[in-house]
Amino acid sequence: MDTILIVNAGSSSLKFQVFAVGAERDLKCLVKGQVDGIGTRPRLRAVTPDRTVLVDRSYQQQEVQYLPDAIHVAGTWLEETQRFNFVAAGHRVVHGGPGYSGPVLISDGVLARLESYTPLAPLHQQNNLAPIRALRALRPGLPQVACFDTAFHRAHGELADRYALPEELYQHGIRRYGFHGLSYEYVAERLRQIAPKLAKGRVIVAHLGSGASMCALANGRSVESTMGFTALDGLPMGTRPGQIDPGVVLHLVGQRGMTAAQVEDLLYHRSGLKGLSGISNDVRELETNASPNATFALDYFAYRVGLHAGMLAAALGGIDAFVFTAGIGENSAGMRARIAERLAWLGAELDPTANVTGKSIISRNGGLPLYVIPTNEELMIARHTLACVPEHSSTRAA
């Protein structure tokens, strides 16, 4: 059976899926897995689409301290127990920089160019590229495809794309890229299936997870995003502050004597929900904690989502629907309720019962439609990968 391996590597986890390629080049998920707790409590878990557990194994901390260890663990399990015939591999790569506006087959030149974008996404880019390097060493004949979180937003006009900086800096690549594009692309497609009339209108999608952003869609196309040059901008996140006055950075360096590395650590690892609460970057933990700081962090997150909804509604000239997606958006009824309150001025009226019982439409009739649409970045990567690779029967790797 010909299959495609999809890899989504983060700082503390490695997610993977395996898709079967059908006779009509259709895709069917066979395995969903991940290695999480890298460097703390490593655990490999994989299931079938019907949730049958294929493996659930914990490791000692020293066995899986770094991402390459997780790649080895997952790769060994796949090779020894599943024996799939991989004809291609697809990867989520956060930053495509100014050079890539769509998926691309990976070559030496492409890989070198993607490595040069590491300063634009220091928390993500090297982790995204590590599995590519590992697979190239193990299976040099296997076609690999990079799919970019920035690509979906590259159709933005200059008004949305530019900073108020000199032209030379824009030409040098300093511009607003936007991220989570694979997620938004999937949600836009899914919305066309379940609510085709709304999908042609003005929709705000909130990708709310450890990394969080929002996107304004007009007829399914991105016209504005809360994230910009890097994945630090916009909404507060698990450990990132979101929108911040650049003068704060200048003050930290000039007056507090912080180095660039210290500021980077602050902005990427010690801010956001974790910084505000002093407790955790995990909404689930904060929602069960009675501390006023935990409550404040949750309220702050919802407040900022509401503020940015106003900005995106202005970009669209109105709003016809609002969509929640990603880990927090899909699973936290409490956070959805907090945010819905902030959207009341836009006509949102939450249906509390629908919200807590997992319905896809959680608004009352007559108000602004509120949807919960689970995202599927891996399926989008698989589709892009298949489209980039020639007829799969001719690309078999030994």
| Amino acid at position 124, single letter | H
Return the bridge partners of 36, or none.
13, 43
Give catalytic status of residue 149 as yes or no.
yes
Report phi then psi at 84, rounded to 5. Answer: -75, 150
Q: Which one of the listed residues 2, 149, 233, 320 is annotated catalytic?
A: 149
Q: Measured on CA atoms in the order 271, 277, 280, 286, is the torsion positive or negative?
A: negative
Report phi then psi at 321, rounded to 5. Answer: -165, 160
CA-based nearest residue to 96, from 175, 208, 33 = 175
At 96, list the tokens: 């495509």
DSSP assignment letter at 228: -
Element (H, E) at 115: helix 108-115
**What is the rounded CA–CA span in Å between residue 146 and residue 136?**
13
Residue 227 CA neighbour count, 13 Å, CB half: 32
At 360, list the tokens: 């896809």
**Cβ neighbourhood burial of 276 (10 Å; 0-12, 13-18, 19+):** buried
Query: Mind telling me the catalytic residues?
Result: 149
